[in-house]
Amino acid sequence: MSREAFVNAAILLALLAVPLWALANDEPFTITLATRAAILALAGVGLNVALGLGGLVSLGHAVFFGIGGYAMGVLASHAQSYDPIMEAPFLIEGTKSMPIIWIAALVTSAIAALGIGALSLRTSGVYFIMITLAFGQMAYYFAIGWPAYGGEDGLSIYVRNGFPGLNTLDPIQFFAIAYTLLLLALLLVWRLSKSPFGLALNAARQSAARVETAGIRPYTLRLTAFVISGALTGLAGALFADLNRFVSPSMLSWQTSGEIMVFIILGGVGRLCAPVAGAGMFVLLEHWLGGTGEFWHIWLGAILLFVVLFARGGLIGALAGRGRTDG
Amino acid sequence: MDSVLQARTLSKSFGALRACDGVDLDLRTGEIHALIGPNGAGKSTLIKLLAGSLTPDTGSVHIDGTDVTREGVAARARRGIARTFQVSALAMEDTVLQNALLGAIGARRSAFRFLRPALRDEQARMTAEAALARVGLSDAARTPVAQLSHGQRRQLEVAVALAQSPRAFVMDEPMAGLGETGSAEMTALLDGLRHEAPILLVEHDMRAVFALADRISVLVAGAVIASGTPTEIRADEAVRRAYLGEEA
């Protein structure tokens, strides 16, 4: 087992141990914090496909996070009011079933990623950052101006959605759902990174000319990665909305995009478990420093600066040493 | 006609500059066809036109008789054009084997397989490893490219192209920056490769060119001023005046 694999296992076990400890000591709020970390980590795992593997600095991933959130909000609110989403040409009813909501979140955010990616990936570098940011802002203001689902006030869902055989209102059971999905996403991304697709995508990040000369279009690779990336972040959005039983335009804001990227930078760009380490650190800092007042982000900023200036490999780089994947 | 790669009246201008001016060129099975010319003669432009990274103003490019003039780099690569770059274009963080695998994956059109590890595709891996063995990089298969010497990177460029099992090689100065020994090794390598697929060789190293080429075309100011066997080119007055000078 490589040192990085060891660090990854330790991080994932820690994320599992904290809520189990909290369960034994009857501290449900700590379980909720761990769930929040797992869900935010999942959003980061999604972004990491584009950013870490593909080298695509997207500042618009809040779009997919928000679409996942609204997929949950729209479906659940219609189920709550027994009012179908549409009747013609065919009937679509709301649902309170998590698996169906997840599929809806995955599909809608994948479609959005296909559209946004198809246009944005014609640019690169700083233009790509700006155009993804612009799409993010468009989605944000659309959500604010769309009164049917709460507009600026957002949308509350009174009872958490259900999963067959589980009581999702029990914090530890909901944590188990989020943690399992996180593990599955990590497994998927790990397999992806070793596959021919991952090899080609990773090479396209380093030398697009080489990949193209080998007969593979970098654009198609990147668009595929962007869609997978958006879909995973969308799934995290649906879970996040379910955690809070609330969805609002703030999920779509550019600050959210920035935060998801911060997880990866804190954890270490290009590392499989960077989003888990980063989201864990973020939730802890938010919890500890959040009490110091409105401006706790200043301290987050200082830590981020330190990482970018002195510890480019992030937390995992510091623990596991240099180097990307070892083949 | 056994011409694998064919250019007909290929022209390309950048503003007032005619970088490529009515070029006819054939790359035939089993040959090394060298393209020489002074700096700024349009060799790089011609290579880009053949590989597909530039579209000509007029003229056409055929691969195995198929008109590919409107096709891009990746599409032409899938038809069997393997290009090497003057300045190595490799995935520096990846290992030597991973880079070679990329050529095999491209040729096998298996880049959109998502779950099985690339290293477990036995056929692609065998192709890649055979290519590395051919250029003498087998021992470095697990080494990241960033740790290779310049000469090894030049060899890897050729190995990636070889792993594409190409119909034709288009090589842009494979000897660039190699010392005397490196050049001799590369010359021996290319000498054997012509039987796998013909090579269009752009090269400044005249010793290598005259040792390897079956035919030579001389490009001056975007136009081919002479084309023939090394003996014919050596004897050509116009070439002597324009390019080779007295030492040739």
Domain boundaries, chain B: 1-80+169-178+195-248, 89-165
Least confident of A243-252, A314-323, B66-75: A314-323
In this predicted structure, the answer to whether residue B248 has a pLDDT above a threshold of 50 is: no
CB contact under 8 A, A200 and B111: yes
Residues of B in contact with A322 (CB under 8 A): none
Q: Which residue of B has its CA nearest to A228?
A: B114
Nearest residue, CB atoms, B102 vs list A191, A210, A327: A210
The per-type count for chain A, helices as H runs and strands as E runs, is: 13, 2
CATH topology of domain B1-80+169-178+195-248: Rossmann fold (3.40.50)
Q: Cis ω on the peptide bond leading into residue B56 (within 30° of 0)?
A: no
* Chain A residues whose C-beta sits inside 8 Å of any chain B C-beta: 191-192, 194-200, 202-203, 206-207, 209-217, 220-221, 224, 324, 327
Distance CA A203, CA A218 (A): 9
Rounded to a whole number, what is the distance in Å from the CA of B125 to chain A's nearest CA? Answer: 11
Q: How far apart are CA B14 and CA A55, in angstroms?
A: 32
- Residue A325 has a pLDDT of 44
- ipTM, 2 decimals? 0.92
Distance between B153 CA and the closest CA of chain A, angstroms: 13
Q: What number is the average pLDDT over the span A254-283?
A: 94
Distance from CA of A91 to the nearest CA of B (A): 35
Question: What integer pLDDT is reported at residue A327 of this predicted model?
Answer: 35
- A207 and B92 within 8 Å at the Cβ level: the answer is yes
Beta strands in chain A (DSSP E): 155-156, 246-247
| Phi, psi of A16, deg, nearest 5 | -80, -35
Q: Using the beta-carbon criterion (under 8 Å), do B118 and A196 form an inter-chain contact?
A: yes
Is A158 domain-assigned? yes
**Once rounded to an integer, what is the mean pLDDT over residues B155-184?**
94
Q: Considering the entire predicted model, what is its pTM?
A: 0.94
Of all residues in chain A, the one with the smallest CA distance to B81 is: A213
Mutate to test the interface with A, among B105, B109, B129, B165 (most CBs of A within 10 A): B105
Query: Quick one: pLDDT at residue B237?
Result: 86
Q: Answer whether A195 sits within 8 Å of B114, measured CB to CB.
A: yes
**Closest residue in A to B100 (Cα–Cα):** A214
What mean pLDDT comes out for the span A228-239?
98
pLDDT of A326 reads: 38
Exposure string of A180-190, with b = 16+ CB inside 10 Å and e = fewer, is: ebbbebbebbe
Distance from C-alpha of A24 to C-alpha of A19, rounded to nearest angstrom: 9
Q: Is residue A316 in a domain? A: yes
Span B169-176, average pLDDT: 94
| pLDDT confidence of residue B242 | 75
CB contact under 8 A, B89 and A216: no
pLDDT interval class at A300 (50, 70, 90): confident
Q: At A160, which amino acid appears?
A: R
Question: Does residue A300 sit within a domain?
Answer: yes
**Who's near A96: CB < 8 A, 6+ residues apart?**
A75, A76, A79, A80, A159, A161, A162
Q: Distance (Å) from the C-alpha of residue B178 to the closest C-alpha of chain A?
A: 21
Is the distance from CB of B107 to CB of B164 less than 8 angstroms?
A: yes
User: Which stretches of chain B sit within 8 Å of chain A by CB?
Assistant: 51, 72-75, 77-78, 82-83, 85, 89-95, 97-99, 101-103, 105-107, 109-119, 121, 124, 142, 160, 164
H/E run at residue A324: none
Looking up tokens 């890649």 gives: B128
Is residue B55 pLDDT above 70, yes or no?
yes
pLDDT digits (tens, 9 = 90+) for A107-157: 999 999 999 999 999 999 999 999 999 999 999 999 999 888 988 999 999
Domains held by chain A: number:
1
Is residue A327 included in any domain, yes or no? no
- A210 closest CB neighbour out of B91, B115, B142: B91
Residue A50: is its pLDDT beyond 50? yes
pLDDT at residue number B59: 96
pLDDT at residue A324 is higher than 80: no
Give the per-residue pLDDT at B83.
96
| Interface mutation vs chain B, best among A53, A190, A194, A213, most B CBs within 10 Å | A213
Note whether residue A325 is domain-resident.
no
pLDDT, tens digit, 9 for 90 and up, residues A56-110: 999 999 999 999 999 999 999 999 888 888 887 888 888 999 999 999 999 999 9
Average pLDDT, chain B: 93
The pLDDT assigned to A91 comes to 86
Averaged pLDDT for residues A245-255: 95
Range(s) of the domain holding residue A240: 3-320
DSSP assignments along A49-80, one per residue: IIIIIT----S-THHHHHHHHHHHHHHHHHHH
Mean pLDDT of B202-207: 91
Of A107, A63, A51, nearest to A225 by C-alpha is: A51
A234 is a domain residue? yes
Q: What average pLDDT does chain A have?
A: 93
pLDDT band at B133 (very low <50, low <70, confident <90, very high): very high
